[in-house]
Amino acid sequence: MKQSYLLVPGYGAQGGTARDVVHSFNCDGLGAIINASRSIMCAYNSDTWKDKYSENEFDVAARAEAIRMRDDINRALEAR
């Protein structure tokens, strides 16, 4: 499966952490697509963002959460 991607569930709302998913990436940090749809879709209602964004700003909260998750995973990749 040298030229395949892995769709990795479990990050975010399902309880998985960045440290849990880094093992899905190759040594170059490639090869995995991390799925966290519920965490992104409902970010406006999460403890992290509910005081900053309303339900009507779900799109802005979703973007903020996607960026936060990206940075979290990148930090975990750099630390391994």
Alpha helices in 1-80 (DSSP H): 18-21, 37-41, 58-79
* % of the chain with per-residue pLDDT over 70: 99
Query: How many Å apart are CA 68 and CA 49, to the nearest integer?
Result: 11
pTM comes to: 0.88
φ and ψ at residue 34, rounded to 5 degrees: -90, 125
Q: Give residue limits of the domains in the chain.
A: 6-79
Question: Looking at per-residue confidence, does 27 or 53 come out higher?
Answer: 53
Judge contact between 22 and 47, C-beta under 8 A.
Answer: no
For residue range 55-73, what is the model confidence (pLDDT) as tens digits?
999 999 999 999 999 999 9
